Amino acid sequence: MNAAAQVTEPKDDELARLSSRITGLEAGQRARDDQIQLLKEENAWLRAQLWGRSSEKSVIEISPDQWHLVFNEAEARTFQAAPESEVTRIAEHTRAKRGRRKLPGELERVPVIYDLSESEKVCPHDGTALTVMDREISEHYHFQPARAWITEEVRLTYSCPCCRGYVKTAPAPLKLIPKSVASPELLAHLTTTKFVDAVPLNRQVQQLERYGISLSVATLSNWMLTIGTNRVQPLINLLIEQLLQALLMYLDETTLQVLQSEKSPTSTHYMWVRLGVLPGSEGEPERRIVIFTYCPYRNTETLQQLLEGFSGKLVTDGLDLYDTYADLKKLIHGLCNAHCRRGFEEARQIAEGDAKKSKSAAAQPNSAATRARMALDYYRQIYRIEREIKDLSPAQKRAVRQERSAPVMAAFKNWLDEMQPKVWPEGKLGKAISYALSHWDKLCTFLKHGEMDPDTNVIERLIRSFVIGRGNWILHKSQAGATASANLYSLVMTCRINNIDPHAYLTYVFTHLAAARTVQDFEALLPWNVQRALARPPPD
Protein backbone atom coordinates (compact mmCIF):
# COMPACT_ATOMS: atom_id res chain seq x y z
CA MET A 1 0.00 0.00 0.00
CA ASN A 2 1.50 3.34 -1.04
CA ALA A 3 1.67 6.48 1.16
CA ALA A 4 -1.18 8.20 -0.71
CA ALA A 5 -3.48 5.32 0.02
CA GLN A 6 -2.75 5.67 3.72
CA VAL A 7 -4.22 9.26 3.90
CA THR A 8 -7.59 9.11 5.60
CA GLU A 9 -10.38 11.61 5.35
CA PRO A 10 -10.87 13.68 8.55
CA LYS A 11 -13.85 12.69 10.60
CA ASP A 12 -16.96 14.87 10.82
CA ASP A 13 -16.32 15.79 14.45
CA GLU A 14 -12.79 16.89 13.60
CA LEU A 15 -14.10 19.03 10.73
CA ALA A 16 -16.61 20.61 13.06
CA ARG A 17 -13.89 21.30 15.62
CA LEU A 18 -11.62 22.92 13.04
CA SER A 19 -14.48 24.96 11.58
CA SER A 20 -15.44 26.14 15.05
CA ARG A 21 -11.86 27.11 15.76
CA ILE A 22 -11.62 29.09 12.50
CA THR A 23 -14.88 30.85 13.30
CA GLY A 24 -13.60 31.72 16.77
CA LEU A 25 -10.36 33.09 15.35
CA GLU A 26 -12.27 35.21 12.85
CA ALA A 27 -14.58 36.54 15.58
CA GLY A 28 -11.58 37.30 17.77
CA GLN A 29 -9.91 39.14 14.91
CA ARG A 30 -13.05 41.20 14.29
CA ALA A 31 -13.26 41.99 18.00
CA ARG A 32 -9.60 43.07 17.98
CA ASP A 33 -10.17 45.20 14.89
CA ASP A 34 -13.16 46.86 16.54
CA GLN A 35 -11.16 47.47 19.71
CA ILE A 36 -8.28 48.95 17.71
CA GLN A 37 -10.70 51.25 15.88
CA LEU A 38 -12.30 52.33 19.16
CA LEU A 39 -8.89 53.10 20.63
CA LYS A 40 -7.98 55.09 17.51
CA GLU A 41 -11.16 57.16 17.85
CA GLU A 42 -10.52 57.70 21.55
CA ASN A 43 -6.96 58.78 20.84
CA ALA A 44 -8.09 61.16 18.09
CA TRP A 45 -10.78 62.57 20.41
CA LEU A 46 -8.26 63.19 23.20
CA ARG A 47 -5.90 64.90 20.75
CA ALA A 48 -8.76 67.10 19.57
CA GLN A 49 -9.59 68.02 23.17
CA LEU A 50 -5.98 68.92 23.95
CA TRP A 51 -4.99 70.76 20.79
CA GLY A 52 -8.14 71.28 18.73
CA ARG A 53 -10.65 74.12 18.66
CA SER A 54 -12.74 74.30 21.83
CA SER A 55 -15.65 76.05 20.10
CA GLU A 56 -18.34 73.95 18.46
CA LYS A 57 -19.16 76.68 15.97
CA SER A 58 -18.81 75.69 12.35
CA VAL A 59 -15.59 76.82 10.73
CA ILE A 60 -16.97 77.07 7.20
CA GLU A 61 -20.32 76.92 5.50
CA ILE A 62 -20.47 74.99 2.21
CA SER A 63 -22.96 76.06 -0.40
CA PRO A 64 -25.52 73.37 -1.35
CA ASP A 65 -24.41 73.85 -4.94
CA GLN A 66 -20.92 72.58 -4.02
CA TRP A 67 -21.83 69.35 -2.25
CA HIS A 68 -21.47 67.36 -5.47
CA LEU A 69 -17.75 68.12 -5.29
CA VAL A 70 -17.31 66.07 -2.11
CA PHE A 71 -20.29 63.68 -1.85
CA ASN A 72 -21.42 60.80 -3.98
CA GLU A 73 -24.63 61.05 -5.96
CA ALA A 74 -26.96 59.43 -3.42
CA GLU A 75 -25.74 61.69 -0.62
CA ALA A 76 -25.92 64.77 -2.80
CA ARG A 77 -29.52 64.01 -3.75
CA THR A 78 -30.42 63.50 -0.10
CA PHE A 79 -28.86 66.80 0.86
CA GLN A 80 -30.61 68.67 -1.92
CA ALA A 81 -33.94 67.44 -0.58
CA ALA A 82 -33.54 69.95 2.23
CA PRO A 83 -35.10 73.23 1.08
CA GLU A 84 -32.91 76.26 1.08
CA SER A 85 -33.70 79.32 3.16
CA GLU A 86 -35.27 82.24 1.35
CA VAL A 87 -32.64 84.36 -0.33
CA THR A 88 -32.66 88.09 0.30
CA ARG A 89 -30.82 90.23 -2.24
CA ILE A 90 -28.73 92.94 -0.64
CA ALA A 91 -27.58 95.88 -2.71
CA GLU A 92 -23.88 96.53 -3.03
CA HIS A 93 -22.52 98.76 -0.32
CA THR A 94 -19.26 99.92 1.13
CA ARG A 95 -18.49 98.85 4.65
CA ALA A 96 -17.69 101.69 7.00
CA LYS A 97 -14.48 101.45 8.97
CA ARG A 98 -15.12 100.21 12.45
CA GLY A 99 -14.39 102.75 15.12
CA ARG A 100 -14.27 102.64 18.88
CA ARG A 101 -17.47 101.49 20.52
CA LYS A 102 -19.50 104.30 22.06
CA LEU A 103 -19.29 104.58 25.81
CA PRO A 104 -22.52 103.60 27.61
CA GLY A 105 -25.03 106.41 27.93
CA GLU A 106 -26.36 105.36 31.34
CA LEU A 107 -23.12 106.24 33.15
CA GLU A 108 -22.86 109.63 34.80
CA ARG A 109 -21.02 112.30 32.78
CA VAL A 110 -18.75 114.67 34.74
CA PRO A 111 -17.56 117.54 32.52
CA VAL A 112 -13.94 118.64 32.82
CA ILE A 113 -13.43 121.95 30.95
CA TYR A 114 -10.06 122.80 29.43
CA ASP A 115 -10.03 126.54 28.67
CA LEU A 116 -7.61 129.08 27.29
CA SER A 117 -5.94 131.52 29.61
CA GLU A 118 -7.37 135.04 29.71
CA SER A 119 -4.43 136.41 27.72
CA GLU A 120 -5.06 133.84 24.96
CA LYS A 121 -8.73 134.80 24.56
CA VAL A 122 -7.80 137.89 22.52
CA CYS A 123 -7.28 138.05 18.76
CA PRO A 124 -3.60 138.82 18.08
CA HIS A 125 -4.54 140.89 14.99
CA ASP A 126 -6.93 143.48 16.35
CA GLY A 127 -7.35 142.72 20.05
CA THR A 128 -10.99 141.61 19.76
CA ALA A 129 -12.16 139.22 22.50
CA LEU A 130 -12.58 135.66 21.23
CA THR A 131 -15.91 133.85 21.51
CA VAL A 132 -16.57 130.09 21.79
CA MET A 133 -17.43 128.66 18.37
CA ASP A 134 -17.20 124.88 18.99
CA ARG A 135 -16.37 122.17 21.50
CA GLU A 136 -14.17 119.12 21.03
CA ILE A 137 -15.28 116.35 23.39
CA SER A 138 -13.46 113.13 24.18
CA GLU A 139 -14.68 110.60 26.73
CA HIS A 140 -12.72 108.41 29.14
CA TYR A 141 -13.71 105.82 31.70
CA HIS A 142 -12.99 106.66 35.33
CA PHE A 143 -13.17 104.25 38.21
CA GLN A 144 -13.00 104.75 41.97
CA PRO A 145 -12.28 101.69 44.14
CA ALA A 146 -14.75 100.71 46.83
CA ARG A 147 -14.72 102.69 50.09
CA ALA A 148 -15.06 101.00 53.46
CA TRP A 149 -16.36 102.72 56.57
CA ILE A 150 -17.99 101.88 59.89
CA THR A 151 -21.43 103.05 60.92
CA GLU A 152 -21.99 103.74 64.63
CA GLU A 153 -25.57 102.98 65.59
CA VAL A 154 -26.31 105.20 68.59
CA ARG A 155 -29.43 104.36 70.59
CA LEU A 156 -30.53 107.24 72.79
CA THR A 157 -31.93 106.52 76.26
CA TYR A 158 -34.46 108.88 77.87
CA SER A 159 -35.61 109.23 81.46
CA CYS A 160 -38.20 111.31 83.30
CA PRO A 161 -36.48 114.40 84.82
CA CYS A 162 -39.00 114.46 87.67
CA CYS A 163 -39.23 110.95 89.02
CA ARG A 164 -36.26 109.44 87.30
CA GLY A 165 -38.23 106.22 87.48
CA TYR A 166 -39.20 105.94 83.84
CA VAL A 167 -36.41 105.11 81.39
CA LYS A 168 -36.84 104.26 77.70
CA THR A 169 -34.20 103.42 75.08
CA ALA A 170 -34.71 103.65 71.31
CA PRO A 171 -35.25 100.12 69.91
CA ALA A 172 -32.45 98.48 67.99
CA PRO A 173 -33.08 97.87 64.30
CA LEU A 174 -33.74 94.28 63.25
CA LYS A 175 -30.66 92.55 61.86
CA LEU A 176 -30.47 89.85 59.22
CA ILE A 177 -27.74 88.20 61.30
CA PRO A 178 -28.13 89.25 64.97
CA LYS A 179 -24.96 90.47 66.72
CA SER A 180 -23.09 90.48 63.43
CA VAL A 181 -20.78 93.30 62.33
CA ALA A 182 -21.91 92.94 58.70
CA SER A 183 -24.20 95.47 57.09
CA PRO A 184 -26.69 94.50 54.34
CA GLU A 185 -24.42 96.19 51.80
CA LEU A 186 -21.41 94.11 52.84
CA LEU A 187 -23.42 90.88 52.82
CA ALA A 188 -24.75 91.73 49.34
CA HIS A 189 -21.20 92.39 48.14
CA LEU A 190 -19.90 89.10 49.52
CA THR A 191 -22.78 87.11 48.04
CA THR A 192 -22.57 88.74 44.61
CA THR A 193 -18.80 88.41 44.43
CA LYS A 194 -18.93 84.70 45.27
CA PHE A 195 -22.00 83.53 43.38
CA VAL A 196 -21.90 85.86 40.38
CA ASP A 197 -18.17 86.52 39.97
CA ALA A 198 -17.05 83.09 41.32
CA VAL A 199 -14.51 84.58 43.74
CA PRO A 200 -14.01 82.21 46.70
CA LEU A 201 -14.22 83.55 50.22
CA ASN A 202 -10.49 83.23 50.96
CA ARG A 203 -9.72 85.63 48.10
CA GLN A 204 -12.43 87.98 49.28
CA VAL A 205 -10.80 88.07 52.70
CA GLN A 206 -7.60 89.25 51.02
CA GLN A 207 -9.48 91.89 49.04
CA LEU A 208 -11.21 93.22 52.16
CA GLU A 209 -7.86 93.46 53.96
CA ARG A 210 -6.76 96.03 51.38
CA TYR A 211 -9.67 98.24 52.44
CA GLY A 212 -8.95 97.85 56.14
CA ILE A 213 -11.65 95.25 56.88
CA SER A 214 -10.25 92.35 58.88
CA LEU A 215 -12.43 89.23 58.74
CA SER A 216 -11.73 85.51 58.68
CA VAL A 217 -12.83 82.92 56.13
CA ALA A 218 -14.73 81.10 58.89
CA THR A 219 -16.74 84.24 59.67
CA LEU A 220 -17.67 84.79 56.04
CA SER A 221 -18.57 81.11 55.64
CA ASN A 222 -20.89 81.26 58.65
CA TRP A 223 -22.60 84.36 57.23
CA MET A 224 -23.20 82.67 53.87
CA LEU A 225 -24.44 79.52 55.59
CA THR A 226 -26.86 81.44 57.82
CA ILE A 227 -28.25 83.55 55.00
CA GLY A 228 -28.50 80.69 52.51
CA THR A 229 -30.20 78.16 54.78
CA ASN A 230 -32.33 80.10 57.27
CA ARG A 231 -32.94 83.60 55.98
CA VAL A 232 -33.74 83.30 52.27
CA GLN A 233 -35.55 79.94 52.39
CA PRO A 234 -39.04 81.56 52.44
CA LEU A 235 -38.17 83.40 49.21
CA ILE A 236 -36.95 80.16 47.63
CA ASN A 237 -40.19 78.41 48.63
CA LEU A 238 -42.26 81.14 46.95
CA LEU A 239 -40.14 80.95 43.80
CA ILE A 240 -40.52 77.15 43.64
CA GLU A 241 -44.32 77.49 43.97
CA GLN A 242 -44.37 79.83 40.97
CA LEU A 243 -41.85 77.70 39.08
CA LEU A 244 -44.11 74.65 39.22
CA GLN A 245 -46.91 76.72 37.65
CA ALA A 246 -44.72 77.54 34.63
CA LEU A 247 -45.92 76.61 31.17
CA LEU A 248 -42.39 75.63 30.13
CA MET A 249 -39.44 74.28 32.12
CA TYR A 250 -35.83 73.52 31.22
CA LEU A 251 -34.11 70.96 33.45
CA ASP A 252 -30.51 69.83 33.74
CA GLU A 253 -28.03 68.76 36.38
CA THR A 254 -24.32 68.90 37.10
CA THR A 255 -22.03 67.27 39.62
CA LEU A 256 -20.35 68.48 42.79
CA GLN A 257 -18.43 67.02 45.69
CA VAL A 258 -19.57 67.24 49.33
CA LEU A 259 -17.08 66.24 51.97
CA GLN A 260 -19.42 65.43 54.87
CA SER A 261 -22.49 63.35 53.97
CA GLU A 262 -23.89 59.84 54.18
CA LYS A 263 -21.93 59.07 51.01
CA SER A 264 -18.17 58.67 50.79
CA PRO A 265 -16.14 61.90 50.51
CA THR A 266 -15.10 61.07 46.93
CA SER A 267 -18.62 60.21 45.72
CA THR A 268 -20.59 62.28 43.25
CA HIS A 269 -23.41 64.57 44.35
CA TYR A 270 -25.71 66.58 42.09
CA MET A 271 -26.85 70.15 41.66
CA TRP A 272 -30.14 70.24 39.74
CA VAL A 273 -31.11 73.38 37.85
CA ARG A 274 -34.67 74.22 36.83
CA LEU A 275 -35.60 77.19 34.66
CA GLY A 276 -39.30 78.02 34.46
CA VAL A 277 -40.82 80.44 31.97
CA LEU A 278 -44.01 82.25 33.03
CA PRO A 279 -45.93 84.72 30.83
CA GLY A 280 -45.82 88.34 31.95
CA SER A 281 -48.89 90.12 33.25
CA GLU A 282 -50.48 93.18 31.58
CA GLY A 283 -47.71 94.55 29.44
CA GLU A 284 -44.86 93.15 31.53
CA PRO A 285 -42.23 90.85 30.00
CA GLU A 286 -42.23 87.14 30.76
CA ARG A 287 -40.73 86.05 34.05
CA ARG A 288 -38.01 83.46 34.28
CA ILE A 289 -37.33 81.64 37.54
CA VAL A 290 -34.08 79.77 38.14
CA ILE A 291 -33.90 77.28 40.98
CA PHE A 292 -30.73 75.42 41.96
CA THR A 293 -31.40 72.38 44.17
CA TYR A 294 -28.78 70.23 45.85
CA CYS A 295 -29.46 66.48 46.02
CA PRO A 296 -27.04 63.66 46.83
CA TYR A 297 -28.58 61.32 44.27
CA ARG A 298 -29.68 61.30 40.64
CA ASN A 299 -32.65 58.95 40.64
CA THR A 300 -36.39 58.76 40.03
CA GLU A 301 -37.28 59.76 43.60
CA THR A 302 -35.28 62.99 43.30
CA LEU A 303 -36.84 63.81 39.95
CA GLN A 304 -40.35 63.23 41.34
CA GLN A 305 -39.63 65.64 44.18
CA LEU A 306 -38.36 68.31 41.78
CA LEU A 307 -41.30 68.05 39.36
CA GLU A 308 -44.14 67.24 41.75
CA GLY A 309 -47.13 69.33 40.63
CA PHE A 310 -45.60 70.41 37.30
CA SER A 311 -47.76 69.78 34.23
CA GLY A 312 -46.23 72.04 31.59
CA LYS A 313 -43.78 71.38 28.77
CA LEU A 314 -40.35 69.99 29.63
CA VAL A 315 -37.04 70.41 27.78
CA THR A 316 -34.04 68.27 28.82
CA ASP A 317 -31.04 66.44 27.47
CA GLY A 318 -31.21 62.76 26.51
CA LEU A 319 -30.85 61.26 29.99
CA ASP A 320 -33.12 58.20 30.15
CA LEU A 321 -34.33 59.28 33.60
CA TYR A 322 -36.00 62.37 32.12
CA ASP A 323 -37.47 60.43 29.25
CA THR A 324 -39.02 57.80 31.50
CA TYR A 325 -40.51 60.37 33.86
CA ALA A 326 -41.96 62.51 31.06
CA ASP A 327 -43.60 59.48 29.47
CA LEU A 328 -44.99 58.37 32.84
CA LYS A 329 -46.51 61.80 33.56
CA LYS A 330 -47.53 62.30 29.89
CA LEU A 331 -45.64 65.59 29.66
CA ILE A 332 -44.84 67.27 26.35
CA HIS A 333 -41.12 66.56 26.24
CA GLY A 334 -38.53 68.16 24.00
CA LEU A 335 -34.92 66.99 23.79
CA CYS A 336 -31.84 69.13 23.33
CA ASN A 337 -30.65 69.27 19.73
CA ALA A 338 -27.34 70.77 20.86
CA HIS A 339 -26.54 67.46 22.59
CA CYS A 340 -27.42 65.58 19.42
CA ARG A 341 -25.36 67.93 17.28
CA ARG A 342 -22.43 67.54 19.67
CA GLY A 343 -22.19 63.85 18.81
CA PHE A 344 -21.65 64.68 15.13
CA GLU A 345 -19.20 67.44 16.04
CA GLU A 346 -17.14 64.97 18.08
CA ALA A 347 -17.28 62.47 15.20
CA ARG A 348 -16.02 65.19 12.83
CA GLN A 349 -13.11 66.08 15.13
CA ILE A 350 -12.11 62.44 15.51
CA ALA A 351 -12.37 61.72 11.79
CA GLU A 352 -10.43 64.82 10.81
CA GLY A 353 -7.77 63.96 13.38
CA ASP A 354 -7.34 60.56 11.73
CA ALA A 355 -7.47 62.14 8.28
CA LYS A 356 -4.37 64.25 8.99
CA LYS A 357 -2.34 61.09 8.57
CA SER A 358 -3.74 60.74 5.04
CA LYS A 359 -4.35 64.07 3.30
CA SER A 360 -6.87 62.57 0.89
CA ALA A 361 -8.93 60.70 3.52
CA ALA A 362 -11.02 63.68 4.60
CA ALA A 363 -12.03 64.48 1.04
CA GLN A 364 -13.31 60.98 0.28
CA PRO A 365 -17.09 61.15 -0.32
CA ASN A 366 -17.76 58.21 2.02
CA SER A 367 -15.34 59.20 4.77
CA ALA A 368 -16.58 59.67 8.33
CA ALA A 369 -15.36 63.28 8.29
CA THR A 370 -17.39 64.08 5.18
CA ARG A 371 -20.52 62.43 6.53
CA ALA A 372 -20.18 64.15 9.91
CA ARG A 373 -19.83 67.53 8.20
CA MET A 374 -22.96 66.81 6.21
CA ALA A 375 -24.96 66.11 9.37
CA LEU A 376 -23.64 69.33 10.90
CA ASP A 377 -24.80 71.26 7.86
CA TYR A 378 -28.41 70.25 8.50
CA TYR A 379 -28.09 71.71 11.98
CA ARG A 380 -26.39 74.77 10.52
CA GLN A 381 -29.55 75.44 8.52
CA ILE A 382 -31.78 74.94 11.58
CA TYR A 383 -29.81 77.34 13.75
CA ARG A 384 -29.58 79.91 10.97
CA ILE A 385 -33.39 79.98 10.93
CA GLU A 386 -33.46 80.22 14.75
CA ARG A 387 -31.22 83.28 14.67
CA GLU A 388 -33.52 84.95 12.17
CA ILE A 389 -36.69 84.37 14.24
CA LYS A 390 -35.32 84.92 17.77
CA ASP A 391 -37.30 88.15 18.24
CA LEU A 392 -40.64 86.80 16.96
CA SER A 393 -43.60 85.78 19.10
CA PRO A 394 -44.12 82.05 19.89
CA ALA A 395 -46.96 81.83 17.35
CA GLN A 396 -44.79 83.40 14.65
CA LYS A 397 -41.87 81.13 15.51
CA ARG A 398 -44.07 78.07 15.21
CA ALA A 399 -45.32 79.16 11.78
CA VAL A 400 -41.80 79.75 10.47
CA ARG A 401 -40.54 76.46 11.89
CA GLN A 402 -43.37 74.54 10.27
CA GLU A 403 -42.68 76.20 6.94
CA ARG A 404 -38.87 76.19 6.87
CA SER A 405 -37.37 74.08 9.68
CA ALA A 406 -39.67 71.06 9.44
CA PRO A 407 -38.60 70.20 5.85
CA VAL A 408 -34.94 70.46 6.86
CA MET A 409 -35.48 68.08 9.78
CA ALA A 410 -37.41 65.69 7.50
CA ALA A 411 -34.53 65.65 5.01
CA PHE A 412 -32.13 65.12 7.90
CA LYS A 413 -34.17 62.11 9.03
CA ASN A 414 -34.03 60.61 5.52
CA TRP A 415 -30.27 61.09 5.49
CA LEU A 416 -29.89 59.40 8.89
CA ASP A 417 -31.95 56.41 7.74
CA GLU A 418 -29.78 56.08 4.64
CA MET A 419 -26.48 56.47 6.51
CA GLN A 420 -27.14 54.14 9.43
CA PRO A 421 -26.44 50.85 7.61
CA LYS A 422 -23.37 52.35 5.92
CA VAL A 423 -21.37 53.30 9.03
CA TRP A 424 -19.72 51.30 11.78
CA PRO A 425 -22.32 51.22 14.60
CA GLU A 426 -19.73 51.22 17.41
CA GLY A 427 -17.89 54.26 16.07
CA LYS A 428 -18.55 57.85 17.13
CA LEU A 429 -20.50 58.65 13.97
CA GLY A 430 -22.53 55.44 14.22
CA LYS A 431 -23.44 56.22 17.82
CA ALA A 432 -24.41 59.81 16.91
CA ILE A 433 -26.71 58.55 14.15
CA SER A 434 -28.22 55.91 16.45
CA TYR A 435 -28.84 58.52 19.17
CA ALA A 436 -30.56 60.88 16.74
CA LEU A 437 -32.83 58.18 15.31
CA SER A 438 -33.78 56.69 18.69
CA HIS A 439 -34.79 60.14 20.03
CA TRP A 440 -36.07 61.64 16.81
CA ASP A 441 -39.65 62.50 17.79
CA LYS A 442 -38.56 64.40 20.91
CA LEU A 443 -35.78 66.17 19.00
CA CYS A 444 -38.49 67.55 16.70
CA THR A 445 -40.82 68.71 19.52
CA PHE A 446 -39.65 72.32 19.19
CA LEU A 447 -41.13 72.49 15.68
CA LYS A 448 -44.67 72.42 17.10
CA HIS A 449 -44.10 74.72 20.09
CA GLY A 450 -42.89 78.22 19.36
CA GLU A 451 -42.18 79.08 23.00
CA MET A 452 -39.70 76.19 23.22
CA ASP A 453 -36.04 76.47 22.26
CA PRO A 454 -34.53 73.66 20.16
CA ASP A 455 -31.94 73.03 22.89
CA THR A 456 -31.11 73.53 26.57
CA ASN A 457 -28.36 76.08 25.96
CA VAL A 458 -30.17 78.67 28.09
CA ILE A 459 -29.84 76.49 31.18
CA GLU A 460 -26.34 75.30 30.32
CA ARG A 461 -25.21 78.94 30.41
CA LEU A 462 -26.60 79.17 33.95
CA ILE A 463 -24.82 75.98 34.95
CA ARG A 464 -21.57 77.32 33.51
CA SER A 465 -21.47 80.00 36.24
CA PHE A 466 -21.76 77.29 38.87
CA VAL A 467 -19.09 75.18 37.17
CA ILE A 468 -16.66 78.13 37.14
CA GLY A 469 -17.23 78.63 40.86
CA ARG A 470 -16.88 74.89 41.50
CA GLY A 471 -13.49 75.02 39.83
CA ASN A 472 -12.41 77.69 42.32
CA TRP A 473 -13.61 76.24 45.62
CA ILE A 474 -13.49 72.56 44.49
CA LEU A 475 -15.96 71.15 47.01
CA HIS A 476 -18.52 71.90 49.72
CA LYS A 477 -17.73 70.90 53.26
CA SER A 478 -21.28 69.93 54.27
CA GLN A 479 -24.69 69.30 52.80
CA ALA A 480 -25.97 72.43 54.56
CA GLY A 481 -23.31 74.43 52.74
CA ALA A 482 -24.34 72.92 49.40
CA THR A 483 -27.98 73.80 50.11
CA ALA A 484 -27.03 77.37 51.08
CA SER A 485 -25.07 77.73 47.84
CA ALA A 486 -28.02 76.38 45.85
CA ASN A 487 -30.41 78.92 47.40
CA LEU A 488 -28.11 81.90 46.86
CA TYR A 489 -27.35 80.79 43.30
CA SER A 490 -31.12 80.65 42.73
CA LEU A 491 -31.56 84.28 43.75
CA VAL A 492 -28.65 85.77 41.84
CA MET A 493 -29.29 83.74 38.67
CA THR A 494 -33.00 84.61 38.71
CA CYS A 495 -31.91 88.25 38.87
CA ARG A 496 -29.44 87.90 36.02
CA ILE A 497 -31.82 86.12 33.64
CA ASN A 498 -34.45 88.84 34.29
CA ASN A 499 -31.91 91.67 33.76
CA ILE A 500 -32.00 92.72 37.43
CA ASP A 501 -28.82 93.92 39.15
CA PRO A 502 -28.02 91.17 41.71
CA HIS A 503 -26.11 93.49 44.07
CA ALA A 504 -28.87 96.10 44.21
CA TYR A 505 -31.47 93.37 44.70
CA LEU A 506 -29.61 91.61 47.51
CA THR A 507 -28.89 94.90 49.27
CA TYR A 508 -32.61 95.67 49.33
CA VAL A 509 -33.57 92.14 50.40
CA PHE A 510 -30.96 91.90 53.16
CA THR A 511 -32.12 95.28 54.47
CA HIS A 512 -35.82 94.35 54.67
CA LEU A 513 -35.80 90.56 55.10
CA ALA A 514 -35.39 90.61 58.90
CA ALA A 515 -38.66 92.53 59.26
CA ALA A 516 -40.68 90.24 56.95
CA ARG A 517 -43.37 88.25 58.77
CA THR A 518 -46.29 87.54 56.43
CA VAL A 519 -46.50 85.92 53.00
CA GLN A 520 -47.17 89.36 51.53
CA ASP A 521 -43.97 90.66 53.12
CA PHE A 522 -41.92 87.90 51.51
CA GLU A 523 -43.67 88.25 48.14
CA ALA A 524 -42.68 91.92 48.12
CA LEU A 525 -39.04 90.76 48.21
CA LEU A 526 -39.21 88.64 45.05
CA PRO A 527 -36.88 89.98 42.31
CA TRP A 528 -39.47 91.59 40.00
CA ASN A 529 -41.30 93.25 42.91
CA VAL A 530 -38.04 94.65 44.28
CA GLN A 531 -37.17 95.91 40.80
CA ARG A 532 -40.41 97.89 40.73
CA ALA A 533 -39.74 99.22 44.23
CA LEU A 534 -36.23 100.35 43.27
CA ALA A 535 -37.53 102.02 40.09
CA ARG A 536 -40.14 103.97 42.06
CA PRO A 537 -39.14 107.62 42.71
CA PRO A 538 -38.34 108.34 46.37
CA PRO A 539 -41.06 110.12 48.40
CA ASP A 540 -40.79 113.86 48.82
Closest CA to 188 of 155, 219, 227: 227
Q: Given this model, what pLDDT does residue 413 score?
A: 96
CA atoms within 13 A on the CB side of 39: 6
User: CA of 159: how far to CAs of 171, 173, 230, 324, 485, in Å?
Assistant: 15, 21, 38, 72, 47
Residues 340 and 332 sit within 8 Å (Cβ to Cβ): no
User: CA of 208: how far to CAs of 133, 143, 168, 203, 508, in Å?
Assistant: 49, 18, 38, 9, 22
Q: DSSP letter string over 54-83?
A: ---S-S----GGGGGGTS-HHHHHHHHTSP
DSSP 8-state class, residue 167:
E
Question: What is the Cα–Cα distance from 492 to 225, expressed in whole angstroms?
Answer: 16
Q: Given this model, what pLDDT does residue 82 score?
A: 43
pLDDT in tens, 162-217: 887 888 888 888 889 988 899 999 999 999 999 999 999 999 999 999 988 999 99
3-class DSSP assignment, residue 334: strand
Q: Given this model, what pLDDT does residue 63 score?
A: 43
* Per-state percent for the chain, helix, strand, coil, to nearest 5: 50, 10, 40
Residues 465 and 278 sit within 8 Å (Cβ to Cβ): no
Closest CA to 177 of 231, 236, 217, 213: 231
Question: What is the Cα–Cα distance from 463 to 486, expressed in whole angstroms?
Answer: 11
Cα dihedral 463, 464, 469, 474 in deg (nearest 10):
80
- Cite the DSSP H helix spans in 170-249: 184-195, 201-210, 217-226, 233-243
Q: Given this model, what pLDDT does residue 102 score?
A: 80
- Predicted structure pTM score: 0.79
**pLDDT < 50: residue spans in the chain:** 1, 3-5, 59-91, 362
Q: Is 78 exposed, middle or buried (0-12, 13-18, 19+ CB in 10 A)?
A: buried
Contacts within 8 Å (CB) and 24+ apart, 338-342: 338/454, 338/455, 338/456, 338/457, 338/460, 339/455, 339/456, 340/432, 340/435, 340/436, 340/439, 340/443, 341/56, 341/376, 341/379, 342/56
Vertex 390 angle, CA 449 and 285, to 5°: 80
Closest CA to 244 of 205, 282, 276: 276
User: CA of 380: how far to CAs of 65, 237, 376, 386, 456, in Å?
Assistant: 16, 41, 6, 10, 17
Question: What is the Cα–Cα distance from 292 to 252, expressed in whole angstroms?
Answer: 10
Residues 328 and 346 sit within 8 Å (Cβ to Cβ): no
The Cβ of residue 225 has, within 10 Å, a number of other Cβ atoms equal to 17
3-class DSSP assignment, residue 313: strand
Residues 196 and 204 sit within 8 Å (Cβ to Cβ): no
Question: What is the Cα–Cα distance from 166 to 341, expressed in whole angstroms?
Answer: 78
DSSP 8-state class, residue 292:
E
Amino acid identity of residue 398, one-letter, is R
